[in-house]
Every structure is written in C-alpha cells, then in structure tokens.
Amino acid sequence: MSVSQDHKPPTEEVNWEDFRDHLTTVDKEGHRRWLFPKMPQGRWYWRRIYVSWLLLAIMFLGPFIRINGNPLLLFNIVERRFSILGRIFWPQDTVIFAVAMLLFITSIIIFTTAFGRLWCGWTCPQTVLMEMLFRKIEYAIEGDASEQRALRSAPWTRKKIAKKFLKHAIFLGFSFLIGNTLLSYIIGTDQLFQIVADDPRKHIAGLSFMVLFTLVFYALFARFREQACTFICPYGRFQSTMLDENTMVVAYDPMRGEQRGHLRQGETLEHRRSAEVGDCIDCGLCVAVCPTGIDIRNGTQMECINCTACIDACDSIMDRIKRPRGLVRYGSLNSIERGEHFKFTPRMGGYLGVLGALAALLALLIFTRSDVETTFLRAPGALFQTTESGRIENLYILKVINKTSRDIPVQLKLENLAGDLRVMGVSELVVPKEKLAQTSVLVELDASVLREGKAKLQIGVYSEGKRLEVVHTAFIGPRLNPSTL
C-alpha cells in the first residue's frame, strides 16, 4: 500500500504552527504568496459543479427572463426603477425595501448560525465564478497545481507565452461577459443592446462602465482571487460572531485524526491501526486543495469558505488507507466532540421568529401595495383665487406613478366635500405603464365649507370605477367673518 504524502505546500514560507498570527497568502516580507490549489475531485465537488451550472445559467440568462413583460431582476439605479421577480418597484416603495433588507439580513444571520458559510462555498458568485469557471480554465490550460508551479518558475519560452496569452485572453473575454451581465441587471438588456449597436459617441458613459466592469472582474479573477473573501467581504468577517458550537461547518475531527503521523515506509494498515495513532496520515492533501490556503486541521478559520474541497481530498485518502470517510466533514463542534446530532437552539428559534414576522410583513406590504402612488400638493407660490361666482379656487400639482406594466386611466373625485375638481390640459388622464404622470388640477369649493379659511381635502384616485387610493391635502381660502356666512 502506498499513499503519496508529498501534497504539503512548500513550508519554507509558512510555519503551520503559528497560523493564527499571519495570513497564508502573505509571506514574512508582506508579499503576496500565490496559491496553487490542487484540482479537487470527489462527490462534494461534483455536487457543487451541478449547483454551479444551475446558478451560472440563472446568472447569465437572468437579464433575458421576463415575467409579465418585466425583467426577472433589474436594479436600475440611474432611473430609480427596480424589478424583482417581474414586479416593478419604485424609490417610493422604501418601506418595502427596508423590510426586504431586514429580511435578507435576518435570513443571513439565521442561515449562518445553522449552516455556517454554506452560502460562501456553494452560491456566492465570487466562489462560483472563481472555482467553477476561471479556475477550471486555468486547469485546462496550465494543468494542475504542480504544473502551474513549474510553469510559473519556467523561463519565458514560446510555449509559456502562448499559454499565458491564451489564459488571459479567455479570462478577459469572460470578464467582459460578466461585466455586461452585471450592466444588464442595472440598465436592462434593451439599453445594453442599444449601447452596443448605436453610435459609440452617444453612449460614452455606458461604454465606460462596460470597460470598467470588465477590468474590475478581470483583476478580481485573474489576480485578486481569494483575497476578496479574506480582505474585502464583510460577511466573512462578521460570520465569526454568529457561529456557535452547534453551527454546521466543514471541520476536521481531531478525536479521530490525532495523533496524526505519516504512514511510514513499509507500514501496513493493520500495523498502523494497532498503533496509538489517529487516522490522519499528515499527507497535506486537504491543505493542497484549499483555495484559501489554510489547514482545516487547525479548526474553523475566518478564511474558510466551506468549499468542501478538503472533505473530498481527505475522503480520497481515507478510501486509500481503508478507513471510514469523514475525517474532514460537515459537522458542528458538538457533533464532533460529543457525537451530538444537529440541535435546534433557542437562538435559532429567536431568529426564526423574527424572520417569520418580517416575511409576513413583507408579503402583506407587497400584496396590499397600490398599483399607483399619488401625490397631490398645492402648487408652489400659487395663492387661492375667488371666482366671479364667489367660490374659492386652489391650484394643485398632481403626480401619479404607475407601478404596473399596463397603462392606467385615472379619475379623481372629491370624497369629503362638495366641489369641483378639474384636471388641466387633458380630457382623460392616462398614466403610461411604469411611468410618472404630472399635471395641474384646479379645485373649486364654496367659501361656506371653509373653517377659519381652511379645509381638509380627501381625494379619491379611481381607475375604471375602482378606488385605488385616497390622498389628503389642504385647501386654503379667505378667513371670513362667520356673521357674513
């Protein structure tokens, strides 16, 4: 039986004992230590591949998917127009956004408390794109870790230049694709195609963003890589406050693995089993495959993105030395130290309660949201007028936002007082889909309905006989002597 034990990365730069005092990606002089993670193989890797295919398909096809004519997802910050699952939202829907944001944060907290960084390893776009797209391209062109290392230190021959050129050209191509995908989530595919097809001089800003996004993604995936998770991502930093002894993480089982020790030359598995040693043969494969360069045997660390590569690596070793799989596995501290199964803790219960309440509130806000949003305010600087018949007139500015994907004819009605209400300039007000309509409205009342020169108006906003909402405003007139009324 021979098991390779030469997977350990070069140790001259890193002392694996003082791992908490430094980053594995930085050497003693503070220079970047480039990682060459070995290609993972195994059942968890394949599961992640299948999930990544689905996620990449959703990500790249998302901007083209329409629900009721609206994009699946659109975050048009420039025009302040947002579409989520085909429903159009406006900046005026701030309460819905605030509740959705709270719901999102709470879901992250409860999810992290229960399942650790499952998001990072399986669904985060940074991990999916880095490990399932760019890393695979790198393996395909430059080979596995040892070949990549050899290529890096090799002289600049024609073969090396060709490989590097090809790799970076493909990286740049995919960065362009990803940058444009992001842009189409912001401005929509129609505008994106217009930028591509039109005279470039008309779209300097759009083209600048295309170039900027391409370069940012290229720098991220070609150079910055795992440092985005370690230095930039806030989630990686604050997740340590959410983990507890029942959180499921990728973990090494020291009860089984220690005392670790190399499988000595000529040592039989039977002999090893009878000796006082653990299952870990200190082969270093779990470290060699790690895309963040850490040693999972040191315990849960901030850099660990729970990618499962070390589980597969160790399982392959356990298969070869005929020991049960799972020396590195998904498990909580309690499950590993005490053999306890997954436990639903009061903390999770509390988070779940908040999560349920927020989800119910969000559903209520979305389903009771009016199709239109109306503001009805007195025209700035306009004073009241007295008509020839002695009635009082006030001029107002009406703004109606149509949040739907169909044109809406709108009628206004005074709800609480007798009087006249005229929309100026149009015989029928129709608010185009997903647009804001603005016009002036004249309201005329009898002076007798005013109390101390004022009245409160309730105006119903109707469409096809259905009242959509009621808005309130003030009506101003002269202060009349009650004896003259």
307 binds ligand SF4 (CB under 6 A): yes
Q: Which is nearer to ligand SF4, 130 or 178 (CB)?
A: 130
Amino acid found at 261: G
Q: According to CB under 6 A, which one of 42, 179, 284, 331 is a site residue for ligand SF4? A: 284
**Tokens standing for 172?**
């740049």
Inter-axis angle of helices 43-61 and 309-320, nearest 10? 160
267 binds ligand SF4 (CB under 6 A): no
Q: According to CB under 6 A, which one of 74, 192, 210, 294 is a site residue for ligand SF4? A: 294
Instruction: With CB under 6 A as the rule, give the number of residues binding ligand SF4.
Output: 29
- Give CA–CA dist 200/206, Å, rounded: 9
469 binds ligand SF4 (CB under 6 A): no
Q: Which is nearer to ligand SF4, 81 or 225 (CB)?
A: 225
- Provide the total of helices (H) and of strands (E) in the chain, helices listed first: 17, 16
- Give CA–CA dist 334/41, Å, rounded: 28
35 binds ligand SF4 (CB under 6 A): no
Rg (CA), the chain: 32
- Give CA–CA dist 289/254, Å, rounded: 19
Q: What is the pattern of x (binds ligand SF4, CB under 6 A) and - over residues 228-257?
A: ----------------------x-x----x
283 binds ligand SF4 (CB under 6 A): yes
**Phi, psi at residue 211, to the nearest 5°?**
-65, -45
8 A C-beta contact, residue 145 and residue 37: yes
**Tokens standing for 442?**
């004249």
Q: According to CB under 6 A, which one of 128, 285, 392, 398 is a site residue for ligand SF4? A: 285
Q: According to CB under 6 A, which one of 135, 163, 203, 297 is a site residue for ligand SF4? A: 297
306 binds ligand SF4 (CB under 6 A): yes
**Phi, psi at residue 78, to the nearest 5°?**
-60, -50
305 binds ligand SF4 (CB under 6 A): yes
30: region left, alpha or beta (phi > 0 left; psi from -120 to 50 alpha):
left
Task: Write down the least CB distance from residue 360 to ligand SF4, Å.
Answer: 35
Q: What is the pattern of x (binds ligand SF4, CB under 6 A) and - over residues 322-341?
A: -----xx-------------
Q: According to CB under 6 A, which one of 309, 401, 443, 450 is a site residue for ligand SF4? A: 309
Q: According to CB under 6 A, which one of 281, 348, 431, 459 is a site residue for ligand SF4? A: 281
Pick from 404, 394, 396, 397: which is nearest to 373 by CA? Answer: 404
8 A C-beta contact, residue 394 and residue 378: yes
Site of interaction with ligand SF4 (CB under 6 A): 250, 252, 257, 280-286, 289-292, 294, 296-297, 304-310, 313-314, 317, 327-328
